[in-house]
Amino acid sequence: MSAEVSLRHAFPGFVLEAQFRMDEGVTALFGPSGAGKTSVAHAIAGLLKPREGRIVIAGRTILDTGAGISIPAHARRIGYVFQDARLFPHMSVENNLRFGWRRAEEPAAVEHFSHIVELLGLAHLLSRKPAKLSGGEKGRVALGRALLASPGLLLLDEPLAALDAARKSEILPYLERLRDEARVPMLYVSHSLDEVTRLADFVVVMREGRIAASGPVFDLMSDLEFARASGVEAHGAVLEANIKEHRADGLSALAFAGGDLIVSRIAKPPGTRLRVRIRAEDIMLALEEPRAISANNVIPATIAAIRETAAHADVQLAAGDAKLVARITPASLKRLALAPGMQLFAIVKSVTVDRNTQGE
Amino acid sequence: MLTPDEAGALLLSLRVSLVAIACALPFALAAAVWLSHARFPGKTLIEGAFTLPLVLPPVVMGYLLLLAFGTRGPLGAWLLAHLGLRFAFDWKGAALASAIITFPFQFRAIRLALEAMDGGLAEAAETLGARAADRFMNLTLPLALPGIVAGAITAFAASLGEFGAIITFVSNIPGETRTLPLAIFNALQTPGGEAEAARLSALSIALALIGVALAALAQRRITRLIGR
């Protein structure tokens, strides 16, 4: 499955001009508020008619203004999870869930219904009215309702933005499970880099109505040019890793393209694929291999690129086939006389393990 | 307690009002739905026209009805010739007058209910595969129900009190067009009729109170039922 989106629309005082491709998995549409992300989602869903545009999803043209094609929203089969959930207040949770299911062209099997209910932990909520749900529960019901309409594409428009931190961490695991199990391509609209690096496989960055940059999340987050072009602070590396072994000292060893990472024990069998993030602030640089330090991970690396601003210097490191980013001060950069090609050691202070770490 | 004539006036009032409200409801709903969607120049004017019966003197309304629906009026003559439908000096005429006079009560209540509805819900329903008619039946109508019911009950209570338009349009015929207010008026015109007028007035007050209380109760009940 792949999708092509190409849009042009003029709002009063604002021009939207976006063109991007989506492949399987989660594509994040990322950018500050007012960048036009929701307008893109609305145009894909059919809630906004762009002046010019072409949208093809899995070979089906749902919009082509040049050819006079515009399939109405109710026939597009595009699931939309709104930021404010938009549950129907006069219907029980169950009837909300069944709303799209009943109206699907080929309604999914009953087992699918119970599967989604179980996947999202909704079984005990089915008879309740939306007014009696918490924010996080509403979000999960909205997610289930959209999924059960058997969409060819799922749009998630800032589904976590209205929630507090506790509710966010309640829903994120469900989103990760969906990504890994539901096999529906998703467009995840967000202004939170944290959510994007945690969920997305591919990132499209929007600024002021235009696409500023795009690429796979593993490449972009450690790409200094991306940081410059997109205006997004170099965040740090997002890496794929496998659990190599559980060591006798209670720690787990992960293998990634640049070597091994030692992290706290992960309750998953060896071989499990994980996503790990290493923030740029969490890497220190040393010219000689440090001894007798508390950090578990010291990774030999080569400097690939340096980008200096007044406030800090970002150093891109190549460790094997992996790219890391370290953020240091301009003073340190000068003192160590760092330059591309130099070999050094990256001391990793902390590793965030994301993917598939739930249900421990 | 009530004389046969008085009981007859009460029953006639109830019948006239019931028919009036039931017949006006679809029009009020259609007008409210139309205006909540449509955007055109002069919309405020149309909106005002729909509430005009509320401010127009009922006698004027009755006179206009007489001109249009009298047996020699353009509409009245046509309806009589083609459908055998007679409004002049008939209880159906009283119902027509009440329907038009109380139309704004229904129209405004439904309009407010629709206005209060979150437009985002319709968008959500659309992305879930619901067409316009489907959205109307399963979303708009149930969510507007409190407004519809409250409007109908208020209009019914107001209709029981209609006097000017009825007496102007269809006169004051015992057993045919003499509703409660007309019976009260008649009693006052008759020497020694004060006691009857007082009895009927008390009855009218009681009916109005019950109507208004019922409207509030129904609105609260249904609102809770739909989980708002």
pLDDT for the residue A53: 93
Q: How confident is the model at residue A300 (pLDDT cuts 50, 70, 90)?
A: very high
Least CB-CB distance to B127: which of A73, A89, A104? A73
Whichever domain contains B128, its CATH number is 1.10.3720.10
Two structure tokens written together for A3? 């999708």
- pLDDT by residue (tens digit) across A247-292? 888 889 999 998 899 998 888 888 888 888 898 889 999 999 988 8
Q: Residues 117-146, chain A: which have Cβ within 8 Å of B? A: 129-132, 145-146
**Interchain contact, B143 vs A75, CB within 8 Å:** no
Mean pLDDT in residue range A219-242: 78
| DSSP-H helix ranges across chain B | 4-37, 43-55, 58-69, 74-83, 91-115, 119-127, 132-135, 141-160, 164-170, 180-189, 194-225
- pLDDT by residue (tens digit) across A107-125? 778 888 898 898 888 999 9
Smallest CA-to-CA distance from A244 within A228, A215, A266 is with A266
Q: What is the largest CA-CA distance in chain A?
A: 70
- pLDDT by residue (tens digit) across B137-157? 999 999 888 889 989 999 999
Vertex A48, ends A45 and A53: CA angle to 5°?
Answer: 85
In a mutagenesis test of the A interface, which of B128, B145, B148, B224 is the best target, namely the one with the most A β-carbons within 10 Å?
B128
Q: Assign domain A236-353 to a CATH class.
A: mainly beta
A107: nearest CA partner in chain B = B129
Q: What percent of chain B has pLDDT over 90?
A: 60
pLDDT for the residue B38: 85
Interface contact A191, partner B, CB < 8 A:
no
**Interchain contact, A146 vs B129, CB within 8 Å:** no
Domain spanning A3-220: CATH 3.40.50.300: yes
Is residue A82 within 8 Å of A142, Cβ to Cβ?
yes
Two structure tokens written together for A165? 């931190």
Mean pLDDT in residue range B109-116: 90
Least CB-CB distance to A86: which of B121, B225, B226? B121
Smallest CA-to-CA distance from A157 within A199, A178, A186 is with A186
Residue B80 lies in a domain: no
Q: Residues 95-124, chain B: which have Cβ within 8 Å of A? A: 118, 120-121, 123-124
Q: How confident is the model at residue B57 (pLDDT cuts 50, 70, 90)?
A: very high
**Interchain contact, B131 vs A74, CB within 8 Å:** yes
pLDDT for the residue B226: 67
Q: Is A98 helix (H, G, I), strand (E, B) or coil?
A: helix
Smallest CA-to-CA distance from A299 within A226, A237, A225 is with A237
Least CB-CB distance to B228: which of A46, A75, A131? A131
Domain of residue B188, residue span: 4-56+102-160+176-225
CA atoms within 13 A on the CB side of B33: 18
Per domain, the residue ranges of chain A are: 3-220, 236-353
Q: Could you count the other beta carbons within 10 Å of the beta carbon of residue B197?
A: 17
Is pLDDT at A28 greater than 90 in this prediction?
A: yes
Two structure tokens written together for B140? 């708009």
Is pLDDT at A359 greater than 50 in this prediction?
A: no
Q: What does pLDDT average to over chain A?
A: 88
- pLDDT by residue (tens digit) across B79-103? 888 888 889 889 999 999 999 999 9
Number of domains forming the structure of chain B: 1
Smallest CA-to-CA distance from B36 within B154, B135, B138, B140 is with B140
Interface contact A267, partner B, CB < 8 A:
no
Q: Which residues of A touch B121 (CB under 8 A)?
A: 86, 88-89
Is pLDDT at B227 greater than 80 in this prediction?
A: no
Mean pLDDT in residue range A66-75: 93
B184 vs A229, residue with greater confidence: B184
Distance from CA of B140 to the nearest CA of A (A): 11
Q: How confident is the model at residue A67 (pLDDT cuts 50, 70, 90)?
A: very high
Q: What is the DSSP string of A270-307?
A: TT-EEEEEEEGGGEEEESS---S-S-SEEEEEEEEEEE
Two structure tokens written together for A14? 């604002």
| DSSP-H helix ranges across A46-164 | 93-103, 110-119, 135-148
Interface contact B128, partner A, CB < 8 A:
yes
Mean pLDDT in residue range B153-172: 92
Residue B85 lies in a domain: no
Mean pLDDT in residue range A168-175: 81
A77 vs A171, residue with greater confidence: A77
**Interchain contact, A80 vs B226, CB within 8 Å:** no
Mean pLDDT in residue range A45-74: 92
Residue B188 lies in a domain: yes
Q: How confident is the model at residue A232 (pLDDT cuts 50, 70, 90)?
A: low
B226: nearest CA partner in chain A = A90
Residue B197 lies in a domain: yes
Is pLDDT at A233 greater than 70 in this prediction?
A: no
Residue B168 lies in a domain: no
Interface ipTM above 0.85: no
